[in-house]
Each structure stands twice: as C-alpha cells, then as structure tokens.
C-alpha cells in the first residue's frame, strides 16, 4: 500500500494554487486541499475591487464560484516565485475573458492584470494571501 502526503514545498504549492484557481474546470474539491481553514486573503484596492477586500475561506470559495460564473476563459502566467521559509513572493500576469454580460462587464471583454502577491504556506496549504492586482485600463 502506498501512502501519499501533501507536497509541502512552498513554491510547488503556490504554483498549484494559481493553476487550480485559473482552471475554470477545477472544482472547489480541487481547490480546498490547497487552502488552510484559517485562510485570509487580502486584495488591495484595484480597478475591479476599488475598496479592496478581505476574505476568509468561505469568502474565497464564493469568489472562486463567482469567477467561474463570470468568465469564459482565464489564465495565470506565473513569472516568478521567490521563497523564504514558509513565505512566497509571486509575480504573475492574469488574463480573463468575460463569458457573460454582468454589471459593467460585457461578454468577450478582455481583462488583464499584473499581479504581485505575498503568500504564506503551512503544511502544504495557503494560510495567507495578500495580492496587489494592477489592471490594464478597463474600457
């Protein structure tokens, strides 16, 4: 019998987290094992979330579902993951194509953000994610 343990390498966990979030076919069951029950996500003010936001695990999963409902396509290109202990600094590019008309967004609209983020990973799970998303001008 083979016993598997979660990969606790910080860079590997962070890359898997971004890949899972970007995959519109991924389910909450795919994402949940990467997230600590005490998760805190801090999104600093940006063009899409002007007041910023702080989310716990439930709020993060709700946002994951909302993104899947709004977007027809999305991707994260992770350019760098720099680690020190349980911390990671990430530089990435996010691209999304709106799939349905919703609020100020129109189906087919392309969104692009340059992302800098700091994450803390413990026991193979993201426990803290602070993100600074710089969106290209919205139409």
Question: Which structural domains are found in the chain, ordered by start?
Answer: 10-135 (3.10.450.50)
pLDDT (0 to 100) of residue 138: 86
Radius of gyration of the chain (CA): 15
Task: Compute the Cα dihedral for 117, 52, 103, 32 and give only its sign.
Answer: positive
CA dist 68 and 87 (Å) reads 28
Q: Tokens in use for 9?
A: 């390498």
Higher-pLDDT residue of 113 and 8 is: 113
pLDDT confidence bin for 7, thresholds 50/70/90: low
Share of the chain above pLDDT 90, in %: 92
The contacts of residue 38 (CB under 8 Å, 6+ apart) are 57, 127
pTM: 0.91
Q: Is residue 8 over pLDDT 80?
A: no
Q: Is residue 117 over pLDDT 60?
A: yes
Share of the chain above pLDDT 70, in %: 94
Task: Kindly compute the dihedral angle of the four CA atoms of residues 104, 108, 109, 113, in this order, to the nearest 10 degrees.
Answer: 120
pLDDT confidence bin for 139, thresholds 50/70/90: confident
CA dist 139 and 136 (Å) reads 9
| Beta-sheet pairing, 125-135 with 35-43 | parallel
């Amino acid at each position: 019998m083979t016993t598997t343990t979660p990969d606790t390498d910080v860079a590997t966990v962070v890359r898997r987290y971004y890949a899972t979030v970007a995959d519109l076919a991924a389910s909450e069951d795919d994402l949940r094992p990467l997230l600590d029950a005490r998760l805190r996500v801090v999104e600093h003010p940006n063009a899409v979330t002007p007041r910023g936001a702080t989310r716990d695990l439930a709020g993060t999963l709700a946002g994951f579902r909302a993104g899947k409902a709004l977007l027809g396509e999305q991707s994260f290109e992770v350019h760098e993951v720099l680690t020190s202990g349980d911390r990671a600094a990430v530089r990435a590019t996010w691209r999304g194509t709106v799939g349905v008309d919703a609020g100020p967004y129109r189906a087919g609209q392309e969104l692009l953000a340059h992302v800098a983020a700091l994450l803390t990973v413990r026991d193979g799970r993201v426990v803290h994610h602070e993100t600074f998303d710089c969106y290209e001008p919205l139409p």
